[in-house]
Structure 1
Amino acid sequence: MLSRRTVLAGAAATLAAPLVKAATPLPEMLRIVMPFPAGGALDGLTRIFADAYQKVTGRTCIVDNRPGAATTIGAAEVSRAKPDGSVVLWTTGGHLTNGVLMKKLPYHPIEGFTPLSMVYTTYGFALLHRANGPFHSLADFIAAAKKQPGRFSYASAGNGNTTHVVGALFAKQAGIELIHVPYKGTPLTDLISGVVDVSFIAPSSVMQYIDAGKIRALAITGTQRADTLPNVPTFAELGMPDIDIPAWIGMLAPPNMSPDVLAALYAGVSKTLADPGFKARMVTFGNQVSGMPPQQFKAYLEKEFARYQRILPPLGIEMDS
């Protein structure tokens, strides 16, 4: 007969096996490829994550800005990289819209990567207007746009960007004609000064300007009101439920990553997202920490990509590849 000690030792070894597997050694440094310019709100949030990741895992973590070509330069670099846990892509929902709107891409938006985790979500995109402008509600703006077709403009962070897609969906569903003004970066300065009439921007990027009374939110996408903007109605509440391009940040690793490396990499990300200090910083910016694991994140990406393949082509948006 086996002794109790032998049985317990065997059980402990069995339980420890998955932990040993998840602890696969990773390179000393993690490079986060950020396909947007340095200095913006998104870049700042990426660096907050990098600092927290380095603190909780002990790995050196750097942010490497690779902007250009609607984020495809940075994405392509990661898609070609070695899947050893040394590099990941930090990206947005625009990664999927690129896959539908661009005629040619050097990678598949899902199969060309190993989905790692959804990092955080925001409450959606707020339709913003300058605080001293004439529109105080969504109804005000739609009525004026119907009265003067082609008179009013909406700015986006670039042709085909999610802020462009949301604006196009809004114009289509509202039955109005708007002038699209794409920017290479944020249109916030021109929005505040009145160069452009409205823009769709995630609340987490502009709360300081809303609080300072420089811009006004007329409505917000998503299924629920933002905690940071409790008096701003959702488009769904106002009878426009199809205006929904979720605002999220996720991490993608290079393709063909082994399960062992993926598990070790996700363990560090998950530990970072659970860090109380990091979570508190995200809440301050109006973000909701997700931590969606790899398989669930992949399933989400596949579902959203299929939805975009249905709803985006009718908008007539074309992007250079």
Structure 2
Amino acid sequence: MLNRREALVGAAASLTLPFARANVQLPDTLRIVVPFSAGGALDGMARIFAETYRQITGRNCIVDNKPGAATTIGAAEVSRAKPDGSVVLWTTGGHLTNGVLMKKLPYHPINSFTPLTMVYSTDGFALLHRANGPFNSVADVIAAAKKNPGKIGYASSGNGNTTHVVGALFARNAGIELIHVPYKSTPLTDVISGVVDLTFIAPSSVMQYIESKRLKALAITGSKRAETLPDVPTFAELGMPGVDISAWIGMLAPPKMPAGVLQALFDGVAKTLAEPSFQTKMTGFGNKVSGMPPQQFSAYLEKELALYQRVLPPLGIEMDS
């Protein structure tokens, strides 16, 4: 589904849910719970959205960073919140991988929430190496790993994070042994300096480092090449179509949200996503604005979760909850 733009952004504001519109007055403030530390790319995108949403709807909108426990602290808080349109979760595909990899997750990744919308998708995950490093292709990485098994490392943003999962999929599909090095935040500094050899990160978060020749992208997940990295082959082109994890940002509301509240909340979000200045900022980072309505987003999440339930267990990744 992420192989094409999920919704025509220009029409996003006109999308309606198949139930009668109610005259609902939402609370004065919308709190966006971001389960990541302040200052990163995902936090920055949330703040751009929050300011645009405030301008479009007239509601106050604040970003509330709740990092920790592989994003489950923030997610759990939203799963227990009142479904009155006062709070949403700003999350990634890692929300679903947690649902498969964590044995004692305190909520169901879909049923304990009300899916609201996909905010944007991005061009998969790029395999990155320092610009002055010895690897210039995926073949170079595979050859080095086979010659020196257990010596080549890849960094992730945490155990079980999607950046970990895609690395494990790569190692499995390539038939090589790589050392996983989990970080509590971004590993970019250590990858650039050569402390660790590789990492997998969405291009939208690292284009400044690629353009400034501090990092080089060797391959990218997805079925087609990224518009921002047209010269970088996909893993599918290289004979490894199984190396693929969808990269997206979505919004989840608390569970059992009344239909009228959901409609009113989605209306404001859809108008924000359709705002030209917001679209320009997102596409500037290499993101594709979505705006799919709640039912479509719910169906997408169900499909992705079923996929992860098939492909992730063989990787042997275990996460504490």
Task: Flag whether TM exceeds 0.5 (same fold).
Answer: yes
The alpha-carbon deviation at position 166 of structure 1 amounts to 0.2
Give the distance between the partners of 2:127 and 2:201, measured in 1 at CA. Answer: 7
For 1:301 and 1:293, how far apart are their aligned partners in 2? Answer: 12
Partner of 1:136 in structure 2?
136
Q: Look up the equivalent residue of 1:320 and give its one-letter code.
A: D
The residue that corresponds to 2:232 in the other structure is 232
Shift of residue 202 of structure 1? 0.5
Kept in 1, the 8 Å contact 2:37–2:43? The answer is yes
Q: Which residue in 2 is equivalent to 1:307?
A: 307
- 2:242 alignment counterpart: 242
Higher helix share: 1
The alignment of Structure 1 onto Structure 2 pairs a total of residues equal to: 304
Shift in Å, 1:41: 1.0
Contact 1:119/1:291 (8 A) holds in 2:
yes
TM-score, reference length from structure 1: 0.93
Deviation at 1:257, TM superposition (A): 0.3
What's the offset of the Cα at 1:106? 1.0
The separation in 2 between residues aligned to 1:304 and 1:284, in whole angstroms, is 27
How well do the aligned residues superpose, as a CA RMSD in angstroms?
A: 1.1
Change (3 A) 1:78 1:259: same
Which AA in structure 1 matches 2:147?
K
* Equivalent residues of 2:33, 2:89 under 8 A apart: yes
CA contact (8 A) 1:116 1:253 kept: yes
Quick one: distance in 2 between partners of 1:118 and 1:286? 16
Letter of the 2:218 partner, please give it. Answer: L
Deviation of 1:22 after TM superposition, in Å, equals 5.0
2:306 pairs with 1:316: no
| Counterpart AA for 1:88 | V
Which range is displaced more, 82-91 or 142-151?
142-151
Contact 2:127-2:201 within 8 A present in 1 as well: yes
Report how far residue 222 of structure 1 moved: 0.8
1:223 CA displacement? 1.3
One-letter identity of the residue aligned with 1:158? G
Which runs of 5 or more structure 2 residues have no equivalent in the other structure?
1-17
Match of 2:177 in 1: 177
1:101 counterpart residue number: 101
8 Å contact from structure 1 (residues 22, 267) kept in 2:
no
Indicate the structure whose relative CO is greater, using CA pairs within 8 Å and at least 6 residues apart. Answer: 2
Counterpart in 1 of 2:277?
277
- Which stretch shifts more, 136-145 or 77-86? 136-145
1:50 to 2:54 alignment: no
Find the counterpart in structure 2 of residue 203 from structure 1.
Answer: 203
Instruction: Give the conservation status (yes or no) of the 8 Å contact 2:19–2:259.
Output: no
When normalised by structure 2's length, the TM-score is: 0.93
Q: Distance in 2 between matches of 1:165 and 1:188?
A: 17
CA distance in 1, matches of 2:271, 2:80: 27
**Aligned-pair distance for 1:99?**
0.3
Tell me the distance in 2 between the aligned counterparts of 1:202 and 1:22: 39
**Residue 153 of structure 1: aligned partner:** 153
Q: Offset of 1:261 from its aligned partner? A: 0.3
Supply the distance in 2 between the matched residues of 1:216 and 1:254 (Cα, whole angstroms): 40
Q: Determine whether 1:262 maps to 2:251.
A: no
Listed one character per residue, the Cα deviations across residues 127-166 of structure 1 (whole Å, up to 9, x for unaligned) are: 0000000011111111111111101000000000000000
Looking at structure 2, the residues matched to 20 and 158 of structure 1 have their Cα atoms a distance apart, in angstroms, of 43
Deviation track 1:158-188 (CA, whole Å, cap 9, x = no partner) reads 0000000000000000000000000000000
Aligned residues with identical type, % of pairs:
77
Query: Residue deviations 1:276-296, cap 9 Å, x none?
Result: 000000011000000011000
Aligned to 1:91: 91
Q: Is the 8 A contact 1:75 1:89 kept in 2?
A: yes
CA distance in structure 2 between the partners assigned to 1:41 and 1:253 by the alignment: 22
1:289 matched to which residue of 2?
289
Gapped regions of structure 1 (runs ≥ 5)? 1-17
The offset of 1:23, in angstroms, is 4.5
Equivalent position amino acid for 1:115 in 2: P
The structure 1 segments of at least 4 consecutive aligned residues displaced by more than 2 Å after TM superposition are 18-23
Shift of 1:21: 2.2
1:167 aligns with 2:192: no
1:194 maps to a residue whose letter is G
Is residue 2:33 matched to residue 1:28? no
Inter-partner Cα distance in structure 2 for 1:57 and 1:268: 6
- 1:192 aligns to what? 192
Cα displacement (A) at 1:209 = 0.4
Cα deviation, residue 236, structure 1: 0.5
Bigger-Rg structure (1/2) = 1
Residues in 2 aligned to 1:316 and 1:210: alpha-carbon distance in whole angstroms? 32
What secondary structure does 1:21 align onto? coil
Q: One-letter code of the match for 1:266?
A: F
Indicate the residue corresponding to 1:74 in structure 2. 74
